[in-house]
Structure 1
Amino acid sequence: MTSRHTLDLPGLLPLWHAVHDRLSSGRPVSRVRVGPLDDAGREALADLLGLDRLPSAEPTIRLAQLEAAVADACGRPVRDVVTAILGPIRDRAAERERDSIQRTALWDWLVGHEVVTTQPALTEWVTHLRTNGLVDGSPDRTRSLLASALTVLAALPSDGEPLPVLAARVLDGDSHALDDGTRLSSLVLRALAVLYGTDMPDSAQGRRALWGRAGVADDELSSTVLAAGLRLGGDGPVARIARISADAGHAVSLTLAQLRSPGELGRSAGPVHIAENPSVLALAIRRFGASCPPLVCTSGWPNTAVIHLLRQLAACGASLHYHGDFDGEGIRIAAHVLAKTGAVPWRMAAEDYRSAVPRIPAGPDPGRLTPAPWDPALSDAMAELRTAVVEEVIADVLLDDLAGRCPGSTACMTSTPPLP
């Protein structure tokens, strides 16, 4: 059994607690205020300090005076005495400094993470998290939780998996990690709400809808992708369907179910271009017919089928080239497609935007702007000119680019008739 320190007396405990707390501040200490003391505490303090009268109930004691009294009583410094009685003395100033450094490192890591830098709209998510403080009490625990959230975001859009299956696949087998109401689920949903420009859902139904938008438990038949001119060299059912439609000058609508079991796809005959709006695809078919170069449409925010097809085409060696609307939402969609598929921008630079604006001098406002990771000058130009340019406005320019992909075809060289 450990023996008590000779100065570990009930009447002196308020003194030792006050001294321990002041020394733990990590700052220089010259005086310590004690109390309130009861009569026994006042007597014990008077005896220790050798006072000829009782101190007040809340006396202030000079540390030098206390050091001398303690040295006379036990031959040890005050720091050793309070450590022996109450435990190690902290350094709260150093702890705060370390915590500040850790917090700064945490937020620097998050804002520089690849998932965030490739989809700059997520900086709004980072700002929200930083403003509201640590998610899980400490920088280390918060970083671990955020790393899990980023792992999930990197895996989205999902391939139509149920939420527990997705969680088990990407989070070390923990099928309940993304259950409704968990901190991790809320973190990911808030990021998705920022990406898609929606409010954070406040109901279970709204949360399920947001997960569905990210491809979680998508319906295999209702999730589809429009394409034209896909002449794939393989003998699988998807390649044959796409070839038949391309040869007939028609668009093809492929379901997620088909893309999950495509059979042999083979290589695409040339690079694949991607448009955001179905009307651009319709104009391409009208102009090029059976000579239409490979073109895929995201129809706004891409669903699971769109991303699935684009990834399959990239895996088969096709180069992907994306164009979308010049507005805030269009920039976020473009960043998402580029990050998820490896596509490169197609006429999506600041100079392309500036040359397009004169076509619609009274165009709508572009709305909430976020950085374009492929060309920082683009968002600056849009903030300056405050004019949205939808894809249809420059469809003729895009189709002229495509015309160069089917030389020798009369259809490719004629002008594009307007849609009815």
Structure 2
Amino acid sequence: MNGPGRLENLDHLHDPGLLPLWRELHRKLSSGRPVRTVLLEGLDLRSQQALADLLGLSSYPGASVRVRLDRLDQALASSGLDTRAAVEALVAPIGDRAAERAKRAKDTDELWAWLAGHPVVTAEPALHAWADKVRADGAGGDHEAVRAMVDQALAIVAMLPLEDGLPLPALAQRATGDPHALDGTGRLPLLVLRALAALRDQPPPEDAEQRRALWAVFGVDCDAHSTNVLVLGLRPTADDPLSTTLRAWSAAGTAAIVTLDQLRSSPGPVVDARVIHVVENPSVLALAQRRFGPSCPPLVCVSGWPNSAAVALLRRLSSNGSELRYHGDFDGAGVRIAAYVMAKTGARPWRMATADYTVACAGPAPATRLSPGRITDAPWDPELAGAMREHAESVPEERVARLLLDDLAEAAAGRTEGRSRTQSHSLKTSAARSGGSQ
């Protein structure tokens, strides 16, 4: 076959009257499907004449004509060309739209499969609706760019909440290297803010004030004095002001409020407790205070969706060796809150399995039966969502408070027994020393 340079001497192929033929051939051949004929319509006299000359026709073919490619190949043979080579030289390289569509479809499927299986999304059922919205918005033509931006958004979500209360530009610098990357309503801040709103089961922010408020909930430019968490029976072992104060309140059998500012100023708290229980609702903590008073084992209340102070405290307690056990409401929001607490702090479920839910539903019927609302999967128990859909009943934490308090009683008994053994050992040691010195 001749190269494109040879066409410079083939003036009859460059005839403007043949452009409708070459362009239609390029369109059809680029479909990726077999082509035997092309239909040309609306040909003017010049195009009809040029086509008749090319194909050796005895008369003009008319305004509409179907051209067979085998006939065209014969006409081009004397020039050392076939139809495909002529079209590529006269118009542009021939593509394969079918293959391109298949590749785009494959790339799109892979993108959304990656998003659905992203560890941040699978750990947080509340993000499934956000992922669906990202998918509905589409990938456009650049799958790699969309994947990179969504991955960056999820990396920022995983960083939150902050303990150090960075300003938004500082967070953007830390996360992306660009202090303005999270400004305003650009694509990246929009993705992150929508994800944060989904985590808290609320609509995305609509104005600058709502955006600032949502960032603050996750520890960005937040008020470290009003951001706090409720605790009871927390007895840190250090002598810093926060630890000393918490021990005093525990000895008095009184709950205490720990602010994010206090946590930032404290090296701890380090608690000598193997297990620390965590509840969603302050009413359960109040019942524990009434029952146990000064002997209450360590208990933390996140008060619904945990703020940055609650997450910071639980992370520190966990990193210092205590096992966190979490319980919350058995409803749609409660399961999402539980998943959030577990994902952010490493807590384990406490009486939050399918069996616990079904037993509670089988108990005495409440005066008012509450709907569980929108149900999402529980990462720690794949059967729980199905059971909640089947029973269609919410089980507030207060409804099973007696069982929770019984667990705390066992924990308190174990702690008291351990302390008694330690005190007994100390007394024997002191007596032995006294006897030896006489």
TM-score (norm 1): 0.92
Q: Between 74-83 and 106-115, report the one with greater CA deviation.
A: 74-83
Q: After TM superposition, give the deviation of residue 275 of structure 1 in Å.
A: 0.4
Q: After TM superposition, give the deviation of residue 408 of structure 1 in Å.
A: 7.1
**Does residue 210 of structure 2 align to residue 206 of structure 1?**
yes
Percent identity of equivalent pairs: 50
2:338 counterpart (331, 334, 339): 334
Q: After TM superposition, give the deviation of residue 337 of structure 1 in Å.
A: 0.4
- Supply the distance in 2 between the matched residues of 1:207 and 1:325 (Cα, whole angstroms): 28
Tell me the residue number matched to 1:50: 56
- Supply the distance in 2 between the matched residues of 1:264 and 1:307 (Cα, whole angstroms): 14
- Supply the distance in 1 between the matched residues of 2:166 and 2:252 (Cα, whole angstroms): 34
Is the 1:285–1:292 Cα contact (8 Å) retained in structure 2?
Answer: yes
Q: Deviations over 1:253-274 (max 9, x none)?
A: 1111111121243343231110
Q: After TM superposition, give the deviation of residue 409 of structure 1 in Å.
A: 8.4
Q: After TM superposition, give the deviation of residue 60 of structure 1 in Å.
A: 1.9
Q: After TM superposition, give the deviation of residue 286 of structure 1 in Å.
A: 1.6
Tell me the residue number matched to 1:284: 288
State how 1:246-325 maps to structure 2 within 5 Å: 246-325=250-329
What letter is aligned with 1:127? Answer: D
Structure 1: unaligned runs, 5 residues or longer: 411-420
Tell me the residue number matched to 2:162: 158
What SS class does the counterpart of residue 234 from structure 2 fall into? coil
Tell me the residue number matched to 2:236: 232
**Does residue 31 of structure 2 align to residue 25 of structure 1?**
yes
**Does residue 63 of structure 2 align to residue 39 of structure 1?**
no
- Supply the distance in 2 between the matched residues of 1:409 and 1:35 (Cα, whole angstroms): 92
2:384 counterpart (378, 388, 396): 378
Q: Deviations over 1:105-149 (max 9, x none)?
A: 111110011111111121122222223322x53222211111111
Is the 2:126–2:201 Cα contact (8 Å) retained in structure 1?
Answer: no
Structure with larger Rg: 2
2:222 counterpart (200, 218, 221): 218
- Supply the distance in 1 between the matched residues of 2:401 and 2:284 (Cα, whole angstroms): 6
What letter is aligned with 2:86? Answer: V
Q: After TM superposition, give the deviation of residue 196 of structure 1 in Å.
A: 1.8
Q: Between 262-271 and 347-356, report the one with greater CA deviation.
A: 262-271
Q: After TM superposition, give the deviation of residue 331 of structure 1 in Å.
A: 0.5
- Supply the distance in 2 between the matched residues of 1:65 and 1:207 (Cα, whole angstroms): 67
State how 1:80-91 maps to structure 2 within 5 Å: 80-91=85-96
**Does residue 383 of structure 2 align to residue 360 of structure 1?**
no
1:122 counterpart (104, 110, 127): 127
**Number of positions where the alignment pairs a residue of Structure 1 with one of Structure 2:** 407
Q: After TM superposition, give the deviation of residue 100 of structure 1 in Å.
A: 0.9
Q: Deviations over 1:349-399 (max 9, x none)?
A: 011111112233442111111111111211111111111111111111101
Is the 2:274–2:321 Cα contact (8 Å) retained in structure 1?
Answer: no
- Relative to structure 1, the CA distance from residue 408 to residue 333 in structure 2 (aligned partners, 3 Å threshold; closer, same or farther) is closer
What SS class does the counterpart of residue 59 from structure 2 fall into? coil
State how 1:174-185 maps to structure 2 within 5 Å: 174-185=178-189
Q: Between 85-94 and 152-161, report the one with greater CA deviation.
A: 152-161
What letter is aligned with 1:137? Answer: G
Q: After TM superposition, give the deviation of residue 290 of structure 1 in Å.
A: 1.4
- Relative to structure 1, the CA distance from residue 383 to residue 218 in structure 2 (aligned partners, 3 Å threshold; closer, same or farther) is same
What letter is aligned with 2:133? Answer: H
- Supply the distance in 2 between the matched residues of 1:176 and 1:3 (Cα, whole angstroms): 55
1:407 counterpart (413, 416, 427): 413
Q: After TM superposition, give the deviation of residue 51 of structure 1 in Å.
A: 1.1
- Relative to structure 1, the CA distance from residue 286 to residue 33 in structure 2 (aligned partners, 3 Å threshold; closer, same or farther) is same
Is the 1:268–1:316 Cα contact (8 Å) retained in structure 2?
Answer: no
Q: After TM superposition, give the deviation of residue 20 of structure 1 in Å.
A: 0.9
Q: Between 286-295 and 107-116, report the one with greater CA deviation.
A: 286-295
- Relative to structure 1, the CA distance from residue 49 to residue 383 in structure 2 (aligned partners, 3 Å threshold; closer, same or farther) is same
What letter is aligned with 1:242? Answer: L
What letter is aligned with 1:111? Answer: A
Tell me the residue number matched to 1:415: none
Tell me the residue number matched to 1:187: 191
Tell me the residue number matched to 2:106: 101
RMSD: 1.9
- Supply the distance in 1 between the matched residues of 2:314 and 2:268 (Cα, whole angstroms): 15
- Supply the distance in 2 between the matched residues of 1:22 and 1:79 (Cα, whole angstroms): 11
Is the 1:230–1:268 Cα contact (8 Å) retained in structure 2?
Answer: no
